């Protein structure tokens, strides 16, 4: 990549925007079909009532809340990882950041729909908002569900702007090459970006501040999602470990999603010269660390429950270790640790293929983890007479499949509208590699200036 | 830039545009600087105050006891305050960026799409008529690829 000229970079990274292949359209149509099926299922549920789902007493949180937690977790792929890499000034981050930030925005948007889907009466979702109703009933700030409202919206606004702001120079680039209606659209989107030193200065400073702000916000979001559970006196939920456990799991699944997205982009958009094996290796190392951390948290959680020997907790413990949920539990361990650990620990297998395989298993494993946190506890709560079972219906399965399809579809559409790799950041990286900055750049107030004037 | 400055052109009349930041070079410096981090802190304080008031006043306005907690429950209030603090900081940063970078501004008086092809545009706004030839020479000698005049005056 070091030999690339700025014009070649422009050409390579703007090429995906220039047209669509038949294969692309077929895949898009297939995904759109699944999304439409999911929408039909949702509307059927709205029409017929929540009874068409598998949610029954005592399990009122099933696939929908599993998906909510999973997608919110997956959203940690982008903004959080991108912000950390920006602040650490990791030079290899440049081709990765936008791929990651896009995942956050779409995953968060998808995740945020699930509490509404789960409501059964989605038209009453506005009851969650802190507005002064005519009845004088204000939302209950003491409910963790309301904390979700504030946390997710703060994170969504931060993530969207964190994605959009550094896109402005690239949108200006597309604007200057587009014609007709496209030029008009990109002109509006680029907000009149011209690239004056003032604009660059402000953009970089804003991005730095945003990177600092967005990290604690991201941590808070998944902590608060975990508190939806941990605030309730339900066996295996009421635990102080839940917040860091959830945050670690979120970053874990987020990195896996990022690796998968990058592998697909590399293959289908022919970005082999930009998304290099080193990017996969570095992210693979991060995934390895998170796999170990995940195992540590699971072990700590299980050990504490087992040692405490509380009857209600032990019921859930054994039902997942050896009972009806054990196949899913051990599949989760297989997917989150047994398979990815050797693949990522051995340098020879920490390749693009190896990290991608590990990422697929981690995404599956992390979905299972969310499911296993929710359903076994609710179905085995305290008194045996209240125990029950949960089986998702076709409605929940279709809606779940629809969200996965929607994620891929949105990502595919986005990659055809905006350069999926930040072009200007890539150029800065290449320039810095080729020509390190002068050691002592004089202030602009000095009369005799040096540099490239 | 040096050539133009040495010809007596005021820095305020020189416009630079590029497709990437060149902050390590003098021509890429922006002026004047803005205390963006402090504004973000201020925005955070405003957001946090708003969050605290929202949490406190809504709890007082609808005083229902939940789970044995006090009416104004400290931990939930802190969480809402925290989230709105961060939101205030983020929104202030965005607004500061938009205002100080003067965007959105869809009508450009001086711009050349060549900028996004890697060229650096250095323009002199409203140069004196008798100084044009001299400025053009100075820019050519300094390595300008192309010189354009647009009623106003620009060099690429």
Q: How far is it, in rounded angstroms, from Cα A163 to Cα A179?
A: 25
Judge: domain A18-123+140-433, CATH 2.40.170.20: no
Tell me which residue has tokens 């999911």: A38
* Alpha carbon separation from A55 to A49, A160, A393, B49 (Å, rounded): 11, 33, 9, 40
Of B24, B80, B105, the CB nearest to A438: B24
Burial state string for A189-206 with b = 16 or more CB within 10 A and e = fewer than 16: bbbbbbbbbbbbbbbbbb
**What does the DSSP assignment read for A404-453?**
HHHHHHHHHHHHHHS-SS-HHHHHHHHHHHHSPPPTTPPPTTSSS--S--
Domain locations in chain A as residue ranges? 18-123+140-433
Whole-angstrom distance, CA of residue A275 vs CA of residue A356: 13
ipTM score of complex: 0.89
Is residue B82 very low, low, confident or very high in pLDDT (cuts 50, 70, 90)? Answer: very high
Q: What is the pLDDT of residues B121-154, one digit of tens each?
A: 888 887 777 778 888 888 888 878 888 877 655 5
- Chain B, window 56-115: residues with a beta carbon less than 8 angstroms from a chain A beta carbon: 58-59, 61-62, 64, 66-67, 69, 73, 76-77, 79-80, 82-84, 86-87, 89-91, 93-94, 96-98, 100-108, 111, 113, 115
d(CA A77, CA A254): 4
DSSP letter, residue A273: T
B5 has a chain A CB within 8 A of its CB: yes
**What pLDDT score does A447 carry?**
44
At residue B128's C-alpha, the angle toward residues B127 and B132, to 5°, is 70
CB contact under 8 A, B91 and A157: yes
pLDDT, position A450:
41
CB burial of A217-236 (b: ≥16 within 10 Å; e: otherwise) equals bbbbbbbbbbbbbbbeebbb
Nearest CA among A300, A287, A368 for reference residue A331: A368
pLDDT at B154: 56
A147 to chain B: which residues are within 8 Å by CB? 76, 79-80, 83
Residues in chain A with CB shorter than 8 Å from the CB of B144 are none
Residue A408: the pLDDT is 95
The answer to whether the CB of A46 falls within 8 A of the CB of A427 is no
Two tokens, residue A361: 């298993």
Cβ atoms of B40 and B29 within 8 Å: the answer is no
* Residue numbers of A between 216 and 255 with CB closer than 8 Å to B: 216-217, 220, 224
pLDDT tens for each residue of chain A, 453 residues long: 556 788 888 888 999 888 888 999 999 999 999 999 999 999 999 999 999 999 999 999 999 999 999 999 998 877 888 888 888 888 888 888 999 999 999 999 999 999 999 988 899 888 877 777 777 778 888 889 899 999 999 999 999 999 999 999 999 999 998 888 999 999 999 999 998 888 999 999 999 999 999 999 999 999 999 999 999 999 999 999 999 999 999 999 999 999 999 999 999 988 998 999 999 999 999 999 999 999 999 999 999 999 999 999 999 999 999 999 999 999 999 999 999 999 999 999 999 999 999 999 999 999 999 999 999 999 999 889 989 999 999 999 999 999 999 999 999 999 999 999 999 988 888 877 776 655 544 444 444 444 444
Closest residue to A451, CB basis, from B20, B26, B104: B26
In angstroms, what CA-CA distances link A406 with A23, A115, A120, B74?
Answer: 18, 17, 21, 39
> Cα distance from A420 to chain B (closest Cα, Å)?
17
Q: Does A428 touch chain B (CB under 8 A)?
A: yes
* DSSP per-residue string spanning A188-237: HHTTT----HHHHHHHHHHHHHHHHHHHHHHHHHHHHHHHHHHTS--TTT
Would you place residue B27 in the very low, low, confident or very high pLDDT band (cuts 50, 70, 90)? low
pLDDT at B40: 96
**Set of chain B residues whose Cβ sits within 8 Å of the Cβ of A443:** 26, 29
Tokens of B44: 């955070």
Contact (CB<8Å) B90/A205? no
Give the distance from residue A30's alpha carbon to the nearest chain B alpha carbon, in angstroms. 37
Q: Cα(A345)–Cα(A23) distance, rounded to whole angstroms?
A: 36
């Amino acid at each position: 990549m070091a030999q690339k000229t700025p014009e070649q970079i422009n050409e390579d990274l703007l090429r995906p925007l220039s047209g669509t292949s038949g294969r692309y359209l077929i895949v898009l149509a297939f995904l759109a079909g699944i999304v439409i099926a999911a929408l039909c299922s949702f509307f059927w549920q709205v029409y017929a009532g929540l009874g068409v789902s598998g949610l029954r007493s005592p399990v009122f949180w099933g696939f929908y809340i599993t998906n909510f937690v999973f997608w919110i977790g997956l959203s940690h792929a982008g903004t959080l990882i991108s912000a950390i890499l920006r602040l650490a000034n990791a030079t290899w981050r440049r081709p990765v950041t936008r791929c990651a930030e896009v995942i956050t925005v779409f995953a968060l948007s998808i995740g945020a729909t699930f509490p509404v889907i789960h409501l059964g009466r989605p038209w009453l979702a506005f009851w969650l908002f802190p507005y002064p109703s005519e009845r004088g009933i204000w939302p209950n700030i003491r409910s963790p569900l309301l904390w979700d409202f504030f946390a997710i919206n703060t994170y969504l606004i931060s993530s969207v702007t964190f994605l959009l702001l550094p896109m402005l120079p690239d949108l200006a680039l597309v604007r200057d090459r587009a014609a007709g209606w496209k030029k008009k659209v990109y002109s509006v989107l680029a907000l009149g970006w011209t690239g004056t030193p003032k604009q660059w200065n402000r953009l970089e400073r804003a991005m730095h501040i945003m990177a600092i702000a967005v990290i604690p916000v991201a941590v808070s979001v998944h902590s608060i999602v975990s508190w939806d559970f941990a605030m309730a006196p339900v066996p295996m939920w009421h635990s102080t470990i839940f917040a860091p456990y959830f945050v670690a799991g979120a970053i874990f699944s987020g990195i896996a999603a990022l690796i998968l997205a990058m592998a697909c982009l590399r293959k289908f958009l022919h970005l082999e010269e930009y998304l290099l094996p080193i990017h996969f290796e570095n992210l693979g190392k991060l995934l390895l660390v998170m796999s170990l951390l995940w195992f540590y948290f699971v072990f700590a959680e299980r050990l504490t429950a087992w040692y405490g020997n509380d009857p209600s907790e032990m019921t859930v413990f054994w039902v997942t270790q050896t009972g009806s949920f054990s196949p899913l539990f051990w599949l989760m361990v297989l997917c989150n640790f047994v398979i990815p650990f050797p693949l990522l620990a051995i340098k020879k297998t920490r390749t693009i293929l190896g990290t991608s395989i590990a990422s697929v298993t981690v995404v599956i494993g992390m979905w299972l983890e969310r499911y296993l946190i929710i359903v076994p506890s609710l179905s085995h709560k305290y008194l045996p007479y209240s125990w029950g079972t949960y089986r998702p219906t076709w409605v929940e399965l279709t809606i779940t499949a629809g969200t996965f399809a929607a994620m891929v579809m949105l990502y595919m559409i986005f990659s055809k509208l905006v350069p999926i790799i930040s072009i200007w950041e890539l150029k800065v990286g290449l320039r810095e590699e080729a020509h390190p900055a002068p050691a002592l750049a004089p202030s602009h107030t000095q009369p005799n200036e040096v540099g490239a004037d | 830039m040096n050539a133009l400055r040495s010809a007596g052109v005021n820095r305020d009349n020189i416009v630079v545009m590029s497709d990437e930041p060149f902050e390590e070079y003098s021509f890429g410096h922006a002026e004047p600087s803005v205390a963006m981090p402090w504004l973000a802190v201020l925005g955070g304080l405003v957001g946090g105050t708003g969050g605290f008031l929202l949490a406190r006043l809504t709890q007082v306005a609808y005083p229902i006891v939940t789970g044995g907690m006090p009416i104004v429950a400290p931990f939930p209030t802190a969480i809402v305050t925290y989230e709105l603090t961060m939101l205030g900081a983020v929104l202030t940063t965005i607004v500061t960026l938009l205002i100080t970078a003067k965007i959105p501004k869809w009508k450009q008086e001086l711009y050349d799409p060549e900028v996004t092809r890697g060229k650096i545009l250095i323009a002199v706004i409203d140069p004196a008529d008798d100084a044009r030839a001299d400025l053009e020479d100075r820019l050519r000698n300094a390595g300008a690829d192309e010189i354009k005049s647009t009623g106003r005056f620009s060099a690429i």
